[in-house]
Amino acid sequence: MALPLLGYAVVTLTGATTSSLGQLRQDPATPLAHQWGTPLPIREDEWLTQTPIALETLVHGAAQAPYLSQAPDLVDQISSGGGFSSVLFFDGNLLRLGAWLPDAMLFAAYSAFPWLLLFLTLPRLLRRLGATRPMSWLGVALCFLAPATLWWSFTPIRILGFAAAGCYLLFLARDQLAARRHLVGVLLAGIGGLCLARLASFYVPWSLTIGVPLVLASGWYLVRERADRRVSLTTIGVGAVIAVAVFAGVLWENWAALHAELTTVYPGLRRVTGQPQPPFLLFGAPGLGDLEDDPFPVLNNQSEISSAFLVCGVWAAVVWSAARRAATRPQWAAVTSLAVLTVVITSWAAVSWGVVGEHVPLLNALQSIRAAQTAGYPAALMLCLVLSRLEAGTARQAGYAAVLCFAVTAYGVSDLQRTLPSLGLVQVWVSVAAVAALVWCLTRWPRRAWPVAATTALLVVAGYNANPVVFGLGDLRGSEAAHKMHAYAVAAEADGSRWVAVVPEDTALLAANGVPTVTGYQRTGPVVSRWEQLDPDHTYEEAWNRGVSYVLMAFTLPEGSPEDALAVISAPGPALISIAILPCRLAETSLGVTHVLTPYVMHSRCVREIDTLTWNGQPRYVYELVRDG
């Protein structure tokens, strides 16, 4: 326990994060942030949205949202001031201390908190479920260093960390209740329940594939224990009651945002079905070691082709029968739970479910590509529990596992060449051979530490530079442009003014420094009454009734638009909303827009240039919006 806490303290005190905020600079040639590695543009969900939102919270002491958008509490898991939200999203309260503590340290502490939970609780939880010490740490390595983790800015760990913490706290609560220390037991069960309730928020599709399997495995283990079954059921009941009560309070506080989120065209009303995904998405993860040095893939980008180690499920199947003989009923209940859910998730990404899939609750919100990318997480946890039941694998058994994993990995990694043409045959076969060798060693000596250490070292080498390490907040806070925006934010707080931006990078600069905006990131969904200021007849509702989308403005109408049109709203992409409106018409609305930040010179009688600055190496112009006449 001491090492994770020491590491967390070092990360916090140095202000270190894996953010790609270095993508946002005043002068690209001389970034202000001290960093190791290279920030990557593909992490837009992080450096264009999550990081500016977190920094905005540090400025205001509560979560904020653009004027057109609903409160982001449910999705960002940061409270905008509600009591229930502050309790459930307790780690987000770190960002509400910006008035008293350094922002860089608070941002680092908030970003690394799920890591701390994972390293403190997942190894101990796996050992409770029957894993040996070496195998418990193998599970941590396979999840924390999976390509899908590294290339999705550790989003899976934000889910898995809280799931592991919640489950482990339920085990501790059960122990306390069994020892008749009821007050401590109820307290631990309540905190555990709160951690698990968070799975119903944030990115729910991945909560289904990453967090829920571990929760069900832990719950089934507790129920199958005969000696303390009544106490276990009591523990689960207490945790569930507290979790439901608090989460219900959060929904009540955020009812408008919840309704908006569920009724958005995208993603709220979207329904999908299971569809076959390419082999590289299912079994290609071991071949992604050089992805950070590769140019953009032919298909999608590095994040979209990354996955976790589903080959672990194949591996577990080989040693399944031998492990079954040595497992207790609770242990095998946990293994079976993980196995069943791994099969279900994998089938969603491997076969077509047709129209039937669109009517399967919960799964019909899970895109099959997201299932393919994350099926390897429950598979890895299942493998660790299965290998822990082997005293020592026979050479023949280890050989069978190695050969089968060799074949499956060769199938998946060779298919990667379709999207990574630079992936040579040597790289393919080196990664395949490495998998076979590690499978053989871990199956042959499952209770020894050195095969786990070798596997972890190889994973570190393969992915160590997939993320930058940045110290501090860089140009987002330390540049001249940021200082100007901070001054404008102070003035806006005094006079109630609002800003709009034309490009996402400028929106990030505004948000990170606390400038109130009308444009920005519409995280949950729209405030309909405010959008009606631009579209009173709901002509463009299909375009603006969206979540997880950037809202930007353009000040020229599309060709063919009537000159007297109030605004023309479009959705150029699934995560983009564009509002085309003339400055004079914008000034006539009741949106309260007073300033415009643009990368180009504007010519209109309704704008007056008041300032210029440099951002991302290009000039930016600040205009004050004035009413015509």
Average pLDDT over residues 425-430: 89
Write the pLDDT tens digit of every residue in 119-141. Answer: 999 999 999 999 999 999 999 99
pLDDT band, very low/low/confident/very high, at 393 (cuts 50, 70, 90): low
**Is 70 exceeded by the pLDDT of residue 629?**
no
Give the pLDDT mean for 54-69: 91
In the numeric block, which tokens belong to residue 134? 């070496």
Structure confidence at residue 594 (pLDDT):
93
Q: What is residue 262's three-state secondary structure?
A: helix
Mean pLDDT (whole number) for 96-100: 88
At a CB cut-off of 8 Å and minimum separation 6, what does 236 contact?
170, 219, 222, 223
Helix axes 255-262, 229-253, angle to 10 degrees: 90
Q: Which residue has the higher pLDDT, 562 or 617?
A: 617
Q: What pLDDT is stored for residue 122 in this prediction?
A: 98
Q: Is the CB of residue 457 less than 8 Å from the CB of residue 463?
A: no
pLDDT value at 295 more than 80: no
What angle (nearest 5°) sits at the alpha carbon of residue 604, between those of residues 601 and 608?
70
- Predicted confidence (pLDDT) per residue in 136-159, tens digit: 999 999 999 999 999 999 999 999
Q: What is the pLDDT of residue 244?
A: 95
Percent of the chain with pLDDT over 90: 69
Over range 470-496, report the average pLDDT.
93
| pLDDT at res. 552 | 93
Average pLDDT over residues 320-349: 92
Retrieve residue 584's tokens. 């004079």
In whole numbers, what is the pLDDT of the chain averaged over residues? 91
pLDDT category at 185 given cuts 50, 70, 90 is very high
Cis peptide before 267 (omega within 30 of 0): yes
Mean pLDDT score, 602-624: 93
Can you read off the two tokens belonging to residue 232? 């276990």
Spatial distance between the Cα atoms of 303 and 147, rounded to a whole number of angstroms: 8
Q: What single string gives the DSSP state of each residue in 431-477?
A: HHHHHHHHHHHHHHSTT-HHHHHHHHHHHHHHHTTSS-EEES-THHH
Query: pLDDT confidence of 560, banded at 50, 70, 90?
Result: confident
Residue 30 pLDDT class (50, 70, 90 cuts): confident
Q: How large is the average pLDDT for residues 503-529? A: 93
Question: How would you list the strands of the sheet with 16-17, edge to edge?
Answer: 16-17, 469-471, 34-36
Please give the angle made by the CA atoms of 51, 54 and 58, to the nearest 5 degrees.
135
pLDDT above 70: percentage of residues in the chain: 98
Q: Residue 465's pLDDT is what? A: 84
